[in-house]
Amino acid sequence: MRVLVTGGCGFIGSALVRRLVADGHEVVNLDAMTYAGDARTVAEVSRANNYSFLKADITDRAAISDAFKTFKPQQVFHLAAESHVDRSIDGPGVFIQTNLVGTSILLDCALEYWRSLPGEAADAFRFLHVSTDEVYGTLAMTDVAFREDTPYAPNSPYAASKAGADHLVRAWAETYGLPAVITNCSNNYGPFQHPEKLIPTVIRTALSGADIPVYGTGENIRDWLYVEDHVAGLIAAMATGRAGRKYNFGGDAERTNIDLVRDICGLLDQKRPGTAPYADQIRFVTDRPGHDLRYAVNAARAKSELSWAAAVTLDEGLSQTLDWYLTHPEWLSRDPAEIARLGLSRSEGDA
């Protein structure tokens, strides 16, 4: 297949690109290479004959239109997005521009291209939009997990911009018939994750002897999904998901932030023991504004319709992830001034 991936140098996007290239698909990776894009994430496939890279922003209509006309994709995986909650609180404008305006431009170009295709090619074309469980808002401790029909109630500028993008994709499918699928995932983790996110931040600060920051009292709960399991779900949704349908992906692995941090510290005690338990470095910091209490994802539809299920348990995935970071310490190294500027003491691991 000829596959266009937007945001393919990001954490989830690069994992998808690596899998698609390894599976033999012809892949164009379209990425604006902002702070979230890193060429190292796709270095292992960068010389493959079936891989090419296009530096472009999804808000650049001319560049996106030209990419469709030149590459003629049969599938589009849309992952390009601003996705860091803390950054959205500090500056929501860029999230609205990329996640809403950019998605609308990508949809327009995809629709124009799709309408130009002959019958069988048009029937085979698919557009998959990758989103987050944060569009559903927050859950109380006793609430049932998010389903695909859970009403949207986003609480951060990031979540609101992704919710808007989801609505745009649905509207283009309903109004114009664009064969689109929407997926919503729980918190991802694994190799190559951006250093601002929770798990890399815990590992980096622990190993450096610095304070390990935890929001509030650490009782916020997240459902965790290993990134390779998510990629398997995206490929399944593209291959067999119904156009106009929505699919949730979750790991069935809820854990409080403080328990997750302590688990990572315990693994570090085993794999890279120090002079004292790493958990002694944990410090609670001022909570994030509008911090959602709990996310939990019901992935029953994906399991029944796509024959998909998370294969990696959270404990297995954390151990594998920690091993990767310990053997790739350069991924965690950042200039101290840059770390301070990004406010890493306020980081959390959103998808």
* Unique residue bearing structure tokens 């929505």: 246
Termini Cα distance of the chain: 27
Q: Is 259 a catalytic residue?
A: no
DSSP state, residue 298: -
Q: Is 133 a catalytic residue?
A: yes
Please give the Cα distance from 58 to 6 (Å, whole number): 8
Which H or E run includes 327?
helix 314-327
Which of 26, 31, 38, 133 does the annotation list as catalytic? 133
**Residues near 234 by Cβ (< 8 Å), separated by ≥ 6?**
16, 77, 128, 130, 183, 249
Backbone phi and psi for residue 78, each to the nearest 5 degrees, phi listed first: -100, 105
Q: How many CB atoms lie within 10 A of CB 167?
A: 15
Please give the Cα distance from 289 to 111 (Å, whole number): 38
Which of 31, 38, 134, 254 does the annotation list as catalytic? 134
The crossing angle, in degrees rounded to 10, of helices 157-176 and 103-116 is 20
Please give the Cα distance from 134 to 185 (Å, whole number): 9
Which of 51, 136, 158, 278 does the annotation list as catalytic? 158
Q: Is 158 a catalytic residue?
A: yes
Closest CA to 256 of 316, 203, 216: 216
Please give the Cα distance from 348 to 102 (Å, whole number): 25
User: With contact defined as beta carbons under 8 Å apart, do 232 and 298 qualify?
Assistant: no
Closest CA to 63 of 4, 124, 126, 147: 4
Give me the DSSP letters along 216-281: TTS--EEEEEEHHHHHHHHHHHHHHPPTT-EEEE--S-EEEHHHHHHHHHHHHHHHS--SS-GGGG
Which residues participate in catalysis according to the annotation?
Answer: 133-134, 158
